[in-house]
Amino acid sequence: MSADPFEAFEEAQGQGVRDPYPKWAEMRRQAPVHEVDLREEFGLDPDAEIPDLPRSFVILSYDGVTQVLRDSATFSSSFYSETMGAVMGHSILEMDEPEHHHYRGLIQQAFTRKALDRWEGELVRPMVEGIVDQIAERGHGDLVRELTFPFPVRVIAGMLGLPQSDLPQFHRWAVELISVGFDFDVGMAASQKLREYFAEQLAPRRDEPRDDLISVLAQGELDGHRLDDEAIFAFLRLLLPAGAETTYRSSSNLLFGLLTNPDQLAALQADRSLLAQAMDEGLRWEPPLPSIARWSTADAIVDGVPVAAQSVINVNMGAANRDEKRWERPDRFDIFRPPLQHVSFALGPHTCLGMHLARMETKVAMETILDRLPKLRLDPTADDVHISGRAFRSPRSLPVLC
């Protein structure tokens, strides 16, 4: 039996990085933007000679992060063409305007309100209820391993119309795909396997569309243009980390915040109208993906600090979400705080395409948990449950009693 890709991926995410926020806050108090050495960022020899190593800046303030995200002309998403493009293919992740707008318009046809409502009723709710009922019957369980980790990928498989029997292999390839950052060969092999698998799924849907997401992508048209096969494969690959990995982690982080603040969990149990603001607070407090990257196309001033052209720009959304100039006591998880827009779904042209799907999945999971696990609490015998990670953040487990 080969190694568990979940364990390998988690180990590579900097699990020793338990709480980066104090360091980010101290840096932000010194200046909203810092120049950093990429060698240090990637744990390389600080004296190593690396040809053509670009300059790099990290943006830590809310004002700076929102400025960069809204200015796609100066801060280009093409950074990802040299990194994720190799494994995903040419996707909207790395596109700038006007190409991005065109492809996003085509793909967005697959995420209509009608489609979301159907997926919620036919797919998401029955799946989540089945998992939660098993935990309720047993009286204990691990909300990460049993619920938040598996169900978003199963939802995507269901949306794509994939056979149930393919799920274990599909999930394995999904995790191996996003492992490309620390195991290039494994990531590229998974990318090719997924391309071959999606090709088998796509071909018949070109001629005979079904009631699934692949068929919508195969048949979608905008201004006389349709997506070719490679564009569809690239989006389907991207859907795995963007649509499953982040949802799994954001729902886990929300649950951790509530379980470690039982008074707030009790308030939510008593008043379900608090759910939307609780979900937003979870996203603000611990975004699943703290940072994204851009490439500067020109010299610029970001929140008062000069940033050089042709540089890597680390957009630290996690730090921005805890900017004390915008939020009082920003390090505290507090579902009662006044609503203010956070940046966990990004902003501007690249605002998360699957934002409404992610919210729906988390809403269903939370409603089901609140309804069916009324005595939910952290298992007091559990050893040091916490959120950690560098590139992605979440708890590795949430052992609970109910």
Domains annotated for the chain, with CATH where assigned, are 5-41+54-331+344-401 (1.10.630.10)
- Residue 1: per-residue pLDDT: 38
Tokens for 357? Answer: 């799907």
- Cα R_g (the chain), whole angstroms: 21
Q: Is 386 helix (H, G, I), strand (E, B) or coil?
A: coil
DSSP structure class, residue 24? H
Nearest to 167 by CA among 211, 159, 187: 159
Query: If you average pLDDT over residues 219-231, what whole number do you get?
Result: 84
Over 60: is that where the pLDDT of 115 sits? yes
Separation in Å, CA 134 to CA 130, 143, 169, 371: 7, 11, 23, 14
What is the band of 252 on the pLDDT scale with cuts at 50, 70, 90? very high
CA dist., res. 158 & res. 306, Å (int): 47
**Phi/psi of residue 15, nearest 5 degrees:** -65, -20
Over 80: is that where the pLDDT of 313 sits? yes
Tell me which range, 94-98, 99-103, 268-272, is most confidently predicted by mean pLDDT: 268-272
Whether the Cβ atoms of residue 362 and residue 247 lie closer than 8 Å to each other: yes
Over 80: is that where the pLDDT of 48 sits? no
CA dist., res. 280 & res. 211, Å (int): 32
Whether the Cβ atoms of residue 362 and residue 279 lie closer than 8 Å to each other: yes
Query: If you average pLDDT over residues 185-211, what whole number do you get?
Result: 92
Tokens for 205? Answer: 């849907």
Q: Is 316 left (phi over 0), alpha (psi -120 to 50) or beta?
A: beta
DSSP structure class, residue 241? I
Separation in Å, CA 13 to CA 5, 292, 307, 310, 347: 12, 15, 28, 27, 25
Nearest to 318 by CA among 16, 23, 6: 23
DSSP structure class, residue 377? E
- Beta carbons within 10 angstroms of residue 61's beta carbon: 22
CA dist., res. 224 & res. 380, Å (int): 60
Buried b / exposed e along 105-133 (16+ C-beta atoms within 10 A): ebbeebbeeebbeebbeebbbebbbebbe
DSSP structure class, residue 272? G
- Percent of the chain topping pLDDT 90: 62
Placement of tokens 């009693």 in the chain: 401
Nearest to 33 by CA among 282, 287, 311, 263: 311
Over 80: is that where the pLDDT of 111 sits? yes
CA dist., res. 310 & res. 56, Å (int): 9
The single-letter code of the amino acid at 101 is: H
Lowest mean pLDDT among 5-9, 52-56, 111-115: 5-9
Q: Output 79 or 305, whichever has higher pLDDT.
A: 305
The H or E element that residue 34 is part of is strand 33-36
- Residue 269: per-residue pLDDT: 96
- Residue 244: per-residue pLDDT: 81
Buried b / exposed e along 162-200 (16+ C-beta atoms within 10 A): beeeeeeebbbbbbbbbbbeebeebbebbbebbbebbee
DSSP structure class, residue 339? P
Over 90: is that where the pLDDT of 273 sits? yes
